[in-house]
Each structure stands twice: as C-alpha cells, then as structure tokens.
Structure 1
Amino acid sequence: MNASTLLWGVLFGSIGFGFLLYGKKQRAIVPLVCGLALMVFPYFVSRTGLLIVIGIALMAIPYFVRV
C-alpha cells in the first residue's frame, strides 16, 4: 500500500460516510448502500487506478438510480 492508495481510500471513505448519513436521514436505500460500499471497498482493493474507477462508479450510482 502506498500513500496515494491510502489518501484515495480516506477520501472515498469520507464521501461514503456522507452518503451513509444522507441515506439514513432521508430513508433512501441507494445512497445508504453506496455509502457503506464506499467506506468498505478500499480495504479490499490495492491498485490505485482500480480504486479510483470503483469509487467514482459508486459515487455516480445514487445520481443515476432513483428508487
């Protein structure tokens, strides 16, 4: 693990925490699940490029999927 992977993981984890709080407060399942996924997935992805791609995809899902 290098510094860039760690910093991207912290960034996506922070954004995920915001999504989680928003989803919980609004009772919206999509942001809640995406927030949880954003906080957890950096533990399992070690390549920086893949981390960024997955993180951006998870951040875009609540915008495009409205339930």
Structure 2
Amino acid sequence: MDTALLVSGLIFSAIGIGYFVYGRRQDNMAARWSGLALVLYPYLMTDVYTMVAVGISLMLLPRFVDL
C-alpha cells in the first residue's frame, strides 16, 4: 500500500509541476494554483483512493474555474 501511495504522489506531483509551469507561462491563475496544490497535497494524504479522487478533482479544477 505504501508503494501505491508513493507512486501516485509522484505522478500527481509531476502533473502539478506541468500545471504550474503552464499557469505561469499563460498567466492562468487557476492552473497555477491548481498545480501548486497538486504538488503539495500528497504530503497530507494517507489513503490511495482519496489521493486519486482529490488529484483528479484538482486536475479538473482549471477546466471549470476561470480566475
């Protein structure tokens, strides 16, 4: 179970770095803050299923929110 938690945290953090860089270059605040949240939230998660659910919702957030 720890391996799945580490791998999913690594995947979502890598996606978060991409969102953050995209948000900086395109001046998109929703993508920038979502990327920062994707990088930082795996430190707070203890369950793989909640990590995946929160990660997917953070990835979809810039699609529906325009800041």
* TM-score, normalised by the number of residues in structure 2: 0.95
Provide structure 2 residue ranges, at least 5 long, that are not aligned to the other structure.
none
Give how far 1:54 is off.
Answer: 0.2
CA displacement 1:9-58 (0-9 Å, x = unmatched): 00000000000000001111100000000000000111101000000000
Structure 2 residue identity aligned to 1:16: G
Give how far 1:66 is off.
Answer: 2.2
Identity of aligned residues (%): 34
The size of the alignment, in residue pairs, is 67
Over 6 Å off, 4+ runs:
none
Provide structure 1 residue ranges, at least 5 long, that are not aligned to the other structure.
none
RMSD in angstroms over aligned alpha carbons? 1.0
